[in-house]
Amino acid sequence: MYLTIPPFQSITMKFAFLTRRNIIIAAVLLVVAGGYFAWQPIQGAFVPSVATDITDPYVYIPTGSSFEDVVKILRKGRFIRDEANFRWLAAQMNYKKDEMRAGRYEVKPGWTNKQLIQHLRSGPQAPVKLVLTTMRLPEDVAGKVSQFLEADSLSLIRLFHNDKYLEQYNLTHETLISVIIPNTYEMYWNTDARGFLDRMVKEHDSFWAKNGREQRATQMGLSTDEIYTVASIVERETNNNDEKPRIAGVYLNRLRIDMRLQADPTCVFATRDFATHRVTQKHTGFDSPYNTYMYKGLPPGPISMASIPSIDAVLNHEKHKYLYFCAKPDESGTHTFAETLSAHKVNAVRFQRYAAARMRGK
């Protein structure tokens, strides 16, 4: 005898079997998915992601970067090991934006994705040390600054020639460089051209307010820009800081009696012949408002950045009656000073003979 199962009951049993199997499968999938989503935050919080042997610990994120740009930067620098987990965690931590936070950040080896994201999202930037020395031209400054900051040299040069922008600081293209004091400055890497110049103006104002510098300039009857211009000439005359106050005194004496400064460095600046080792008629005969052999008074602006020792040498110049100086006939690199033109000519002849003898010796 065979047991006959009604068709409806058979279908019901098959459906029940399939339902139980689907439930089991679904349950397994839920467990797996739950494990995955439970593992993601665990992995992001406890599993190291940043390589332990990174050679450069700094991440540079340019202004306007997208999330994909940041991922590419981090991947290239070996700051993320598990990119999928980083992407997932970045979305969960609300780090992923249309425009990402820019800057320069120091990353520690062995950080987790969570630590990395927290730092890039809201951590402090790592400032750069911008070193400015006595460069000659604003274009030189732009080239140097662009080596330290995100601002490129072209954006800086354009700003340096923006008369309307410079007017707010009572600057012109000729006097612009007087606002830049050679020093080492801590700045954020993503500083733009305007941010750089604004900072220089603040540093300039602070510099002149310290140690009574601005008050001293006023007492001398000169503006801070004029003091800087004299200092720029002194800067290019000698590297000897001990001699700078005496040389500054010579130029101030000439200004006081309305005598032409006749400063060789101004002629070099006028011709832009910065490689020359000897000033000739080609330089002193070149017609330019910067040529102090031709025109009385100070040139339109500095002929170089002036170091702090040169600026202070002008403010604290040596008081004497010297009007002339020339190089000493030796290897010291210092100068011989004279009160009269006749005495100066004697000194000049001595140096010329010395220089000629050296040439013959070569």
- CA-only gyration radius of the chain, Å: 35
DSSP bridge pairs for 326 = 336
Which residues have C-beta within 8 Å of that of residue 85, sequence separation ≥ 6?
40, 43, 44, 47, 49, 113
Paired with 184 in beta bridges are 131
Contact between residue 309 and residue 232 where contact means Cβ atoms under 8 Å apart: no
> Is there a contact between 267 and 291 (Cβ–Cβ < 8 Å)?
yes
Q: One digit per residue, pLDDT tens: the chain, 362 residues?
A: 445 556 555 555 555 555 655 555 544 444 444 444 554 556 545 467 788 888 899 999 999 999 999 999 999 999 998 899 999 999 999 999 999 999 999 999 989 999 999 999 999 999 999 999 999 999 999 999 999 999 999 999 999 999 999 999 999 999 999 999 999 999 999 999 999 999 999 999 999 999 999 999 999 999 999 999 999 999 999 999 999 999 999 999 999 999 999 999 999 999 999 999 889 999 999 999 999 999 999 999 999 999 999 999 999 999 999 999 999 999 888 999 999 999 999 999 999 998 888 877 75
* 283 neighbors 276 (Cβ within 8 angstroms): yes
d(CA 45, CA 51): 15
Angle at 339 between CA 334 and CA 345, to 5 degrees: 70
Residue 130, CA distances (Å) to 14, 150, 246 in order: 78, 12, 31
